[in-house]
Structure 1
């Protein structure tokens, strides 16, 4: 399969991103935005840039994890599932076609200067040019894209000249009042101009063609956002300082007006020509981008097949292009410019809220295939700010945009029920979401699909494709273990039965064919050879298989059910696995796998001769001693039972704990002893003690506070601070 060549440099990506933002947001919007806020409109542009920053960072992360995907639509579908994928596809389609419609309305305003026609007539002229754009898109005139880069350059030069001549002529009297409608008016204006920055994330869709995307993609987004913020802020300031507010408030061609005021008729006409060319170019690129969403959804079986029809000669999505232009025609005819801008901003805000939530879901669930080369800084606080600020902006946009969003949600859901329900894809949230999220969004499937378990993808000369039906321990391997051999060895030490089952599991998104992933994988052959050598050295029976799956959680549950295992053993990084709405796969396994559960944190210890069992304060479990004794017998190691007690505990109580612990250890076959020590800080005490041992065995922790539960970011502090390797046990029996 051919791959896209990574040929785009940082400079090229910045130019493309700026091109996606430069248009109606500065050539049309500032005047009607100033009517809502007063001369503080420049501040509204600045605040809008700050509010959109989290989405830029989040989308950079998502794009480097899925560099060849279809952008925001596919990110949302993979995180939430096809229901939200359908809604997101419609929302993105509408936001882009509304923005393009807005550009055409502005195009008509600038054209009215050149052709001396009324604004009422310019609507029909705009529709005529929309017809030309439709033909250009159907015929696939690719050179238009190259011309657009020249147009962007001309537009930037024009705006630079506006600043050079406009800023020195700012009239302080025009800057009063700063707030025409108070703070609420400013916030409403922030939401109104939000759409101006929508193009900053468009480059995420071409991440597969960018050189060194983990660095260049976020840099390009941030630099282009910074550059356009400066342009928007200073141009908006120049406009309110040069044009009286009563004139600016109804001006749909403010760049022409300021050029005319400072440069006269000729300069004004030249600026109007630039405005016409820029806005028609932006409308063309908008139709190009918008029409691809219904086409992509049809390819994913979320819209009727005819929406995915391709022209036999020009190979363009002709039906999708025609439908997009028809809807744009209706928007231009029946919606005024303010409503168009509000709706465009509302749909884009909704999509960017979803993008921030996607990062939270994918980070918290730790989906195996989600491995971004760039990660958003200050997670999850950046995403939380983006979500909350987006919700506030949606509220301030007013009732009409909220009703429009609700309508699209209902339409999207109905389309999914009629067409998309047949798709077998599921989102990460459905797999690992807690009940509050699942009851809100989905009905939980009770019947597990067995189609995800496929043992036939690997060369059968090494792997026989058969799971041991009576394995005492099942050990899933995900490829990120420090030492797969050490993890399997720990599993064998816990095993009371003859066979230990190790399974290398590779999870891929639903859109990826299983057959294409792991055939004749040399890493699997190497792993099989190393595990075989370890099994001979330890004189244990290890069965090793490899699985490719679309659903990690259900595959592991299938493994547990098929083997009737006593234990499930996994590698672990000491991260907690509980969250309010989402959890990582380990949290799902703990709740759904019937066997006991062991998590092994590998701190690099390779020879285990001293084992310490540290029961958490207030926790007692006699089973732990028996389990630890089994591990010690396997390694021929000594066993220590450690109790860390409060400093104020009396000597008599300490002696009682020591006596009862010695009674527990009397049944142990290994060399054993008891340590009872006072400590003000149990975590630090256990950490210091662990330096004298090779393996620390602990139990599951108490429930975390609301903050930790909500975001799932807390570490198991006992495991995280340990100097030796850690085995954390969850005994269900």
Structure 2
């Protein structure tokens, strides 16, 4: 449920427009490419999480399998990239609920959900169940209404001349932003019952449900709006129900988008704070962030620090820029996960050899296919992190 809450969230309401702008009628191919890379990443992550059921995800895997620097770089990429993703989720809430004051609403949402996570993961998981159930029902209604409309034309699903390879890869990189929630499962290794059994089962189940959901929504939006109108729409799902002749559903979709974004934000803050906690425990970040609350048994200092950083970013950042920046950091994070999975032995549950290879190559290709602003900004931030590591370790 935590993984679904992170994946079936704001991405489905916000990512298809930019992806259609990049790939045109090749959007479905881009979705397929993103899904293949996500599957490889999820498989590698699940096998590693079963061997290392600790908080921190690829930060731990990279450290144990490739060396301290690669673990640190993975953790740095994750914390930076997912902090931007948290800000994007918060801004989605503000954009749908109160566009004129979207930054203020975003900050309020961050503060509220940080407080919820502070009180313990069990309460957060129960809220995630409610959010996921609501969003899945809402998306099913939107898909059904769209496909039943007389305005839907399935000829729009064909790949036209506007779908070049570069655009398809760029769309896949942007859509990957919405698939990356399975990392939340792996980063909670120390708080899951029977992690060696639970995590390898939870990851593919969450990813499969998400892929089916996203494919259905993508088909409905393309058939009803077409790639050009989809790319130009700031609220494509609300636009779809209006075009389908059910404008009364549009306010419900807006509220649903805000709830979905809150669900994603809840899970994202959870995952980023756990990786921050793991890095602080290993003295790569201030050790005060490794404190555990005596009553709630959560890394409360890390929770508060992440919440504060995300609140500042949400007050000053741009939504679409945050999506690209987040995708770059998270794709490189999973590149290190796949390289780590390659080193697993057969007795450690090593995945088929092609899985980490395809995952590693796919992550690097999609990362550098993103808009150049995201590539440059992400490369600079990662270089700064690497420099800090070298200076600190000599």
Q: Normalising by the residue count of structure 1, what TM-score does the alignment of the two structures yield?
A: 0.49
Residue in 2 that maps onto 1:203 = 185
Residue in 1 that maps onto 2:135 = 155
Q: Give yes or no for the alignment of 1:375 onto 2:350.
A: yes
Q: Give yes or no for the alignment of 1:101 onto 2:87.
A: yes
How many angstroms apart in 2 are the aligned matches of 1:65 and 1:175? 42
How many angstroms apart in 1 are the aligned matches of 2:145 and 2:299? 45
Residue in 2 that maps onto 1:143 = 123
How many angstroms apart in 1 are the aligned matches of 2:288 and 2:202? 37
1:89 to 68, 75, 81: 75
Residues 1:261 and 1:383: Cα distance change in structure 2 (over 3 Å): same
Q: Give yes or no for the alignment of 1:123 onto 2:103.
A: yes
Q: Is the 8 A contact 1:343 1:401 kept in 2?
A: yes
Q: Is the 8 A contact 1:31 1:249 kept in 2?
A: yes
Residue in 2 that maps onto 1:48 = 34
Summarize the alignment of residues 465-476 of structure 1 with structure 2, pairs less than 5 Å apart.
none
Displacement of 1:317 in angstroms is: 3.7
Residues 1:156 and 1:312: Cα distance change in structure 2 (over 3 Å): same
Residues 1:301 and 1:346: Cα distance change in structure 2 (over 3 Å): same
Residue in 2 that maps onto 1:339 = 321
SS in 1 for 2:351: coil
SS in 2 for 1:249: helix
SS in 1 for 2:343: helix
Q: Give yes or no for the alignment of 1:35 onto 2:21.
A: yes
Displacement of 1:333 in angstroms is: 3.9
How many angstroms apart in 2 are the aligned matches of 1:323 and 1:66? 25
Q: Is the 8 A contact 1:79 1:358 kept in 2?
A: yes
Summarize the alignment of residues 223-302 of structure 1 with structure 2, pairs less than 5 Å apart.
223-243=205-225, 245-262=227-244, 264-302=246-284
Residues 1:322 and 1:393: Cα distance change in structure 2 (over 3 Å): same
How many angstroms apart in 2 are the aligned matches of 1:125 and 1:16? 23
How many angstroms apart in 2 are the aligned matches of 1:56 and 1:248? 29
How many angstroms apart in 2 are the aligned matches of 1:111 and 1:410? 37
SS in 1 for 2:246: helix
Report the RMSD for the aligned CA atoms in angstroms: 2.8
Displacement of 1:193 in angstroms is: 0.9
How many angstroms apart in 1 are the aligned matches of 2:378 and 2:226? 35
Deviations 1:627-658 (A, max 9, x none): xxxxxxxxxxxxxxxxxxxxxxxxxxxxxxxx
Whose RCO is larger (CA < 8 A, sep 6+)?
2
How many angstroms apart in 1 are the aligned matches of 2:344 and 2:88? 34
Residues 1:108 and 1:30: Cα distance change in structure 2 (over 3 Å): same
Q: Is the 8 A contact 1:174 1:244 kept in 2?
A: yes
Displacement of 1:244 in angstroms is: 5.2
How many angstroms apart in 1 are the aligned matches of 2:182 and 2:195? 18
How many angstroms apart in 2 are the aligned matches of 1:322 and 1:205? 17
Q: Is the 8 A contact 1:68 1:207 kept in 2?
A: yes
Displacement of 1:247 in angstroms is: 4.1
Q: Is the 8 A contact 2:27 2:168 kept in 1?
A: yes
Residues 1:299 and 1:201: Cα distance change in structure 2 (over 3 Å): closer
How many angstroms apart in 1 are the aligned matches of 2:2 and 2:289? 28
The structure where helix makes up a greater share of residues is: 2
2:62 to 54, 76, 83: 76
Deviations 1:34-69 (A, max 9, x none): 111113212211210012222122112212222345
Residue in 1 that maps onto 2:204 = 222
Displacement of 1:175 in angstroms is: 5.0
Residue in 2 that maps onto 1:132 = 112
How many angstroms apart in 2 are the aligned matches of 1:18 and 1:318? 24
How many angstroms apart in 1 are the aligned matches of 2:288 and 2:81? 22
How many angstroms apart in 2 are the aligned matches of 1:110 and 1:25? 13
Deviations 1:691-710 (A, max 9, x none): xxxxxxxxxxxxxxxxxxxx
Gaps of 5+ in 2: none
Select between 349-358 and 90-99 the one with higher mean Cα deviation: 90-99
How many angstroms apart in 1 are the aligned matches of 2:263 and 2:244? 26
Q: Is the 8 A contact 1:32 1:252 kept in 2?
A: no
1:305 to 265, 287, 295: 287
Summarize the alignment of residues 49-64 of structure 1 with structure 2, pairs less than 5 Å apart.
49-64=35-50
1:188 to 144, 149, 170: 170
Summarize the alignment of residues 463-612 of structure 1 with structure 2, pairs less than 5 Å apart.
none
Displacement of 1:263 in angstroms is: 5.7
Select between 151-160 and 137-146 the one with higher mean Cα deviation: 137-146
Q: Is the 8 A contact 1:17 1:200 kept in 2?
A: yes
Displacement of 1:356 in angstroms is: 0.9
SS in 2 for 1:353: helix
SS in 2 for 1:387: helix
Displacement of 1:128 in angstroms is: 2.4
Q: How many residues align?
A: 391
Deviations 1:600-632 (A, max 9, x none): xxxxxxxxxxxxxxxxxxxxxxxxxxxxxxxxx
SS in 2 for 1:291: helix
The structure where strand makes up a greater share of residues is: 1
Q: Give yes or no for the alignment of 1:406 onto 2:386.
A: no
SS in 1 for 2:244: helix
Residues 1:299 and 1:213: Cα distance change in structure 2 (over 3 Å): closer
Larger Rg: 1
Displacement of 1:264 in angstroms is: 2.6
How many angstroms apart in 1 are the aligned matches of 2:31 and 2:158? 18
How many angstroms apart in 1 are the aligned matches of 2:37 and 2:295? 44
Q: Is the 8 A contact 2:55 2:275 kept in 1?
A: no
How many angstroms apart in 1 are the aligned matches of 2:68 and 2:381? 15
Residue in 2 that maps onto 1:394 = 367
SS in 1 for 2:79: helix
Residues 1:111 and 1:189: Cα distance change in structure 2 (over 3 Å): same
Q: Normalising by the residue count of structure 2, what TM-score does the alignment of the two structures yield?
A: 0.88
Gaps of 5+ in 1: 1-14, 113-118, 423-733
